[in-house]
Amino acid sequence: MIDLANVLEKVKELALAVGKMQQENLDKTRLEVSTKSSSIDLVTEIDRKSEEIIIKFIQERYPSHAILAEESGRHSGDSDYLWIIDPLDGTTNYAQGLPIFCVSIALQYREETVLGVVYCPVVGQLFTAIRGQGAYLNSQRLQVSAKQELIESVLATGFPYDIAENPANNITYFNRIVLKARAVRRIGSAAYDLACVAAGKFDGYWELKLSPWDVAAAMLMVEEAGGRIVHFRKDRGIAIIAGNEVICEKIRREIEQSDAGGDN
């Protein structure tokens, strides 16, 4: 296996540079915004530019590695290594000029995530993890929240972009869980939500219909911070619960009870 500590230092520099470019263009008055599969599924010129920078970086240094990127899809490589990239997670926030968005870069080796970086530039938060070596926010080692009760917990979740047409829209789960928790937040970036679970800033998280680039880096961070990732509803794409073992189980139980009633 390649020297992950060395790779991490390079990827941190990359994420910082891409994040700086994103921040510099955040309030650009004529930002080019288009749609993908839906009129509300946005992509900006900065998404594409960020992805181009990241892919160029990887291809110049690790030309045999495969790449899976949100905007351009799969780039084949003859290697056991796969980079999974969300160049700008939180595009809707970004297009609105809201400051919560991030760069997410993960590296897998033989289908196991071994390295992750999530950078939220406006707040200056650089989350990193190497499998077996812990997760960090800047230089501080992370630990998931120790809370044991939903009523004491601040949770995070999200909704699919096609919420109006998609029956797997998380609304029923949300309506149930929001009554059991201290609060539920909808930030608009799955990578940042999960990184905040790793940091104990959120006590738990759940979401459906995620994509690999949304979560690959930050799921590793949760695990390396002593948390769990629980998969549920495999018929709904990537659907996960994150947090400590007790909170994950309590969220899972609420979801199962919702399903037993024919909801979602």
Q: Which CATH class is domain 150-260?
A: alpha beta
Confidence of residue 80 (pLDDT cuts 50, 70, 90): very high
The pLDDT of residue 257 is 95
pLDDT the model gives residue 40: 46
- Give me 109's structure tokens: 């080796």
Q: For the domain 4-141, what is the CATH code?
A: 3.30.540.10
pTM: 0.93
Q: What would the mean pLDDT of 54-64 be, rounded to a whole number?
A: 96
| 8-52 pLDDT, tens digit each | 999 999 999 999 999 999 986 556 665 555 544 467 899 999 999
Q: In the chain, which segments carry CATH 3.30.540.10?
A: 4-141
On the CB side of 19, CA atoms within 13 Å amount to: 26
**pLDDT tens digit string along 142-159?**
999 999 999 999 999 999
Lowest mean pLDDT among 31-40, 155-164, 181-190, 197-206: 31-40
Average pLDDT over residues 122-128: 97
Does residue 54 have a pLDDT over 90? yes
Which part of the chain is CATH 3.40.190.80?
150-260
Top pLDDT among 250 and 235 is at 250
